[in-house]
Amino acid sequence: MATHALNRHLVLVGFMGAGKSTIGREVARRLGREFVDVDKEIERRVGRIDEFFRRSGEAAFREVEATTLESSLGGTPRVIALGGGAVETPQIRERLSDSYAVLVDIELDPAWERMQGSDRPLAQDEAEFRRRYESRQPLYDEVADARARDADDVVLAAAGVRVEVGALQLLGSFIDPPAALVTEPVVSGIYGADTQLAFEFAETHELPTGERAKTVPEVEKLWRALRIGRDGTLLALGGGSLTDAAGFVAATYTRGCTWVPMPTTLVGQVDAAIGGKTAIDIPEGKNLVGAFHWPARTVIDPSLLETLPAHERLNGMAEVLKTGLLAGEPLWELPDPELVRRCAAYKSALCLRDPRDENVRRTLNLGHTFAHALEAAAGYELPHGRAVALGLLAALRLSGRPTDAIEAVLEPKPARVDRERAWQALLRDKKGALSLILLGDDGAFETTVPEADVRRALDELIAG
């Protein structure tokens, strides 16, 4: 079965009343894809569905439904909403195997409450409605690659991202043998035993904790130590630096092997481990060597944040603030499981829309040009979250936006780094010397900023 909808049609299936059309339209907007409502397309062909049912019968309707879906499955990836009974047609079930199908769940009683009194031909008799619901459940299970209840769930499923409290204990349902575990000493000490109980790994390796994992010598050690073949899976269990480095190893080892990140920090769960952008650092700059390598799945267990030190949580909150600013919602005020789910869904949508970071995904770099420059100037001794907090201050100041939330939640302090070294690092940054992401009334946008303004904004972030 497919594990994500990158380069595939995303098809929503589910019973009447589940909201497939409404959710599908919203998901299509987020992903920048065309939306096809198969029932609406059928009405364009044959007129009102209830009248066609009475005139020609259900069998004729199913034939039209199958041909309508077939005509929708060509071209660039779309979001497609299927009628509730489409899965009863063997031809349709077979064709869905080439797409990514998400079951939009709804319980029986709420479905009947929504549908009774409607003009749906198969919602006129409650007993028949209930019989159809029960008989279709195995068919939904057969075709569904994932399940969802709202648009955020669908986006996450489409990106192959699973957010679930207790996911660590379910590792066996997310990865296949043979698999290698790549983790870091601190995480191994806390979760190593649980991880090994959840899945039997063929081999286990460690990278250093923190940014040191993202260095050429450490990556080379891992390349040389791995024994899995190209058909193996690499599970990356750790923080954002660990998943960055392990993902880059997966992208290059045997010219690319399957990998599954399982981030254990807030910055990893809301940002770093999502979207398949992997990288390591070199002295000249952060993330200057990397690859795009979409994970088979990304497994996120918010309960792992319970052991996260306060300073690491603050690092992650910088990315949460960034995401909330981009989304136009105070996501930082939500409880952890929902905060993680909503932030991960926001990033997943942009990454699916722009998997190679060529246009809209670049808005996720809000504040990061300054942050990366400060990190490089500090020899990567400055924590990423602290650097991002400062970068957000600069970006909002240049945007003419208030900085209250940044100051209240993150309490950024000026960095003690060499000003000229920071400036030179900014000029080398991969996003272009003076091209920045700023924030306007209608969201984030990329623009060229005068050199003097950028230099002044950077200097304001540096102590002394």
Q: Tell whether 428 is covered by a domain.
A: yes
Q: Tell whether 415 is covered by a domain.
A: yes
**pLDDT class for 212, splitting at 50, 70, 90?**
very high
pLDDT at 431 over 90: no
CATH at 187: 3.40.50.1970
Q: What is the 3-state secondary structure (H, E, C) of the chain?
A: CCCCCCCCCEEEECCCCCCHHHHHHHHHHHHCCCEEEHHHHHHHHHCCHHHHHHHHCHHHHHHHHHHHHHHHCCCCCCEEECCCCHHHCHHHHHHHHHCEEEEECCCHHHHHHHHCCCCCHHHCCHHHHHHHHHHHHHHHHHHCCEEECCHHHHHHHHCCEEECCCHHHHHHHCCCCCEEEEECHHHHHHHHHHHHHHCCCCEEEECCCHHHHHCHHHHHHHHHHCCCCCCCEEEEEECHHHHHHHHHHHHHHHHCCEEEEEECCHHHHHHHCCCCEEEEEECCEEEEEEEECCCCCEEECHHHHHHCCHHHHHHHHHHHHHHHHHHCCCHHHCCHHHHHHHHHHHHHHHHHHCCCCCCHHHHHHCCHHHHHHHHHHCCCCCCHHHHHHHHHHHHHHHHCCCCHHHHHHHCCCCECCCHHHHHHHHHHCCCCCCEEEEEECCEEEEEECCHHHHHHHHHCCECC
Check residue 433 and give its pLDDT: 55
Q: Tell whether 1 is covered by a domain.
A: no
Check residue 434 and give its pLDDT: 85
Q: Residues 176-202: pLDDT tens digits?
A: 999 999 999 999 999 999 999 999 999
Check residue 429 and give its pLDDT: 62
Q: Residues 217-273: pLDDT tens digits?
A: 999 999 999 999 999 999 999 999 999 999 999 999 999 999 999 999 999 999 999
What does pLDDT average to over the chain? 95
**pLDDT class for 15, splitting at 50, 70, 90?**
very high
pTM of the model: 0.94
145 and 172 in a common domain: no
193 and 334 in a common domain: yes
Q: Tell whether 276 is covered by a domain.
A: yes
184 and 36 in a common domain: no
33 and 80 in a common domain: yes
Q: Tell whether 325 is covered by a domain.
A: yes
Q: Report percent pLDDT > 90 for the chain.
A: 92
167 and 143 in a common domain: no
pLDDT at 313 over 70: yes
Q: Tell whether 170 is covered by a domain.
A: yes
Domain holding 416, by residue range, is 366-459
